[in-house]
Structure 1
Amino acid sequence: MPLIIITIGVILLLILIMGFKLNTFVSLIIVSFIVALALGMPMADVVGSIENGLGGTLGHIALIFGMGAMLGRLIADAGGANRIATTLIDKFGEKRIQWAVLFASFIVGIALFLEVTIVLLVPIIFSIAKELKVSIVHLGLPMVTAALATHAFLPPHPGPTAVASEYGANIGLVLIYGIIVAIPTVILAGILYPKLAKKIVPTAWTREGSESFGVQKTFILQETPGFGISVFTALFPVILMALGAAVDMIQPAMGFEDNMLVKIIRFIGNSTTAMLLSLLLAIYTMGLRRNVPIKILMNSCSSAINSLGMLLLIIGGGGALKQVLIDGGVGDYVAKIFEGSAMSPVFFAWSVAAILRICLGSGTVATLTTAGLVLPLLATMPKVNLELVALATGAGSAIASHVNDAGFWMVKESLGMTLKEAFGTYTVLSTIVAVSGLVFTLLLDQII
């Protein structure tokens, strides 16, 4: 019965969002109330469960998420992302242009959210494609692959950050493992698959892209921050969190006790501290060092936060639904079904996230709802690598991007493709990212 209730809840969510065009956050809260009552929760407990889920989800990640958005906006507004992309494209040359776009998008994608990465880089590859007389799809697919992989696997992106927090996983380790998984994944999906896709949907390679996406803020390259400092600023949170994660991995193996140095590294390697220090660095390198007034820098930060408002509410709404599933006993019911099962928790988390992603469209909502079903199961297992379960959940949330995903339409329109061409390129590409992410995560599970 609980699984039937979940199925009805998912269908209702689809009807509200796609049929009635209701706001996603409002739809999530409505469904949370209905599912809670249908599961037999006392009416007096329903509101408290929803509030705890929303507040508990946002309590930890809002800091990381908010500062990550401000960091990315400062790099973008200063022209740092533009400098990274144009420099790498120039260095790699025409023959390896796809690798240049992939590499640049991966670096930029660590700091910038998926939609921002696409909006920022499409105009750059638009002009490069015209100059080289190649289809924008030729360069666009490596770009969206890197943007999708960083969005699915790497903190401080909303999905990986939120699900790592829900599972109690070490965000620094999620980041390190995520990079290990993402590198071969983006090569498969962004470099190798397009060669096959060109034979499947050859008409896509005749597209020149949308002119509306060819307009961008104009930067004079000499006036933008240098390549080295731009890359360093974008990767600074990765460096700090990696240091903290390295200490957590090495200390048990080496057996040394905490000392002041270890405590300091662990403190600055904490995801929240790392994001704060990275934001302060960006204010200096992208602004003050270049004599940009602090008021302009703070305007960039404010605009980044203003654009996050609804996304934060949607994440909170996903957390509310997750909490209702836990408090309503659905998670325990699922745990009992799989009690004694030999199924890997990594594969189980991926499967649930993949099904929810296909149904709901939103990868972030899918990851948080998955947590509500998977958490009780993890409690029954003696030894589970929470970081890999978090990665598998993120991988599942990337699968089969199609018409109910805003990102699908963004890619389709920006690259000027038809629906058939978008299905043959981006939908398949996102599925390769999801399946490859699972395979490489399972391999890591055997090694670690």
Structure 2
Amino acid sequence: MVLFLVSILTLLVLITVIKLHPFLALLITAIGIGVADGMSLSAIQLTITKGIGDTIGPLILVLGCGVMLGSILTETGATQRISSGLIKIFGKKYANVAIVITSLVVGIALFYNAGFIVLIPLVFTMVHQLDLPLTPLVISMAAPLSVTHGFLPPHPGPTTIAVIFNAPIGKTLLYGLIVAMPTLGVVGLIFPKFLKHIPANPPKGLFDSKDLPEEKLPGFGISFLTALCPVILMTLSVIFNNKSDFSPSIIHFFQFVGDAGNAMLISVLFSILTLGILQKNKISLLMNYAGSGLQAIASILLIIAAGGAMKEIFATTGIDKTIVGYLKDLPVSPLILGWLIATVIRIAIGSATIAGLTAAGIVAPMLQVSHVSPELMVLSIGAGSLMCSHLNDTGFWMFKEYVGLSIKDTFRSWTMMESLIGLLGIIFILILSVFVS
């Protein structure tokens, strides 16, 4: 526990006082944790390499192709067309409502990282068109993605925990939506209003919006279809994966095209057709747009990779197990205990999915002798797994770098958002438990 607190303090000092780049600060802190815990230098090196590989490996296609798609959508005016359409429907006053609804729909189909990459260009464009502060609108976008990631099947965390607890997926989804709606009302619509004063300084060249003449914009339908291409592919993958009526070759095909990275790659190629060839834009011009986007996220990728290294070091040292040992026998409701254990593991190692699955394994024996609804236990652990995101969570760094915030302002916006989702989530779950046996 002392090692954990010292490491977090050290990281804060390196970044905020000494002004080291977060990439270097994260790596130095990770090495220091390993040395202090008595790990050999070779073990530290292997652990850091594994953490970087496990983190950046699954993300490189999603982030790389995602930013290429976003840049093409932005520079060709597709996001401007979509943004104008949403503004006509909801108006400037309710722009955050438009973003929350869009993000919720996308978030049910996509994992958090993929959803973030798909939607962030749209947010940048809407901010530019309406002259709105960036931070509140990105929070309105991120909140539904986090809620779906923590509460709703078919996301891997809640789905796997539901299987562990023998909780029906359909009922878990229904209860999850009941908890999600009021939570999003507060965190997605009310909380962002308190963040208007937080300055944002996103990377130069990242989705730099410009107003194109109306006659040069692609149609709304083709723009919307291109932007949602990854969502469609991944949704088809889920549908076909859950159907046994089709041949294995068809199922495997849709599993391939529905993989997050492959879906992004296919969507980039689709955008070249719809926003390039069909709009009489040169492919070389689109690639220039895409290349500028890739340059803008180089630093983001390095920071996420280093964050993965520190997360792996934390997991290897077993800090989470030490802390959980003190909590298992607390005389509290199983729902609160599951939430608390997931919260502690989340704080210790950063990953929401790992926090949820680890907490589920610890709580499972208690569930067998209690009268708690297994569906609500899934949700309580999901709520805890979202709590207190901080420096060892790659999502923290992704949000910080895309929006261009200081460490302090990332805590005030992102960390507060995640914690509010977790706190309101467990409150609404406890209220729901009064009516659910």
Please give the TM-score of this superposition, normalised by the length of structure 2: 0.68
Alignment of 1:128-207 (within 5 A): 143-149=137-143, 152=146, 185-192=183-190
SS at structure 2 position matched to 1:323: helix
| Cα distance in 2 for residues equivalent to 1:124 and 1:70 | 21
Match of 1:282 among 271, 274, 292: 271
Deviation at 1:43, TM superposition (A): 2.8
| Residue 389 of structure 2: aligned partner | 397
Q: Does 1:220 align with 2:225?
A: no
Please give the TM-score of this superposition, normalised by the length of structure 1: 0.67
| Cα distance in 2 for residues equivalent to 1:8 and 1:65 | 32
Q: How many residues align?
A: 383
| Residue 290 of structure 2: aligned partner | 301
Deviation at 1:307, TM superposition (A): 1.5
| Residue 85 of structure 2: aligned partner | 87
Report percent identity of matched pairs.
Answer: 25
| Cα distance in 2 for residues equivalent to 1:274 and 1:345 | 35
Q: Does 1:327 align with 2:316?
A: yes
Alignment of 1:373-388 (within 5 A): 377=359, 380=362
| Cα distance in 1 for residues equivalent to 2:404 and 2:7 | 27
Deviations 1:46-85 (A, max 9, x none): 1111111112211222122221221212111111111111
| Residue 227 of structure 2: aligned partner | 234
SS at structure 2 position matched to 1:146: helix
| Cα distance in 2 for residues equivalent to 1:371 and 1:304 | 29
Gaps of 5+ in 1: 127-135, 156-162, 357-365, 413-418
- The one-letter amino acid of 1:397's match is S
Deviation at 1:192, TM superposition (A): 4.9
Q: Does 1:45 align with 2:43?
A: yes
Q: Structure 1 pair 59/93, CA: closer, same or farther in 2 (3 Å)?
A: closer
Gaps of 5+ in 2: 108-114, 150-154, 163-168, 366-373
- The one-letter amino acid of 2:130's match is I
Deviation at 1:21, TM superposition (A): 1.1
Match of 1:123 among 122, 128, 133: 128
| Residue 112 of structure 2: aligned partner | none
Deviation at 1:98, TM superposition (A): 5.6
Decide whether the 8 Å contact of 2:240 with 2:246 is kept in 1. no
Deviations 1:333-361 (A, max 9, x none): 345445577456555434554x57xxxxx
Alignment of 1:2-81 (within 5 A): 3-81=1-79
Decide whether the 8 Å contact of 2:15 with 2:25 is kept in 1. yes
| Cα distance in 1 for residues equivalent to 2:119 and 2:388 | 17
Deviation at 1:262, TM superposition (A): 2.7
CA RMSD of superposed structures (Å): 4.9
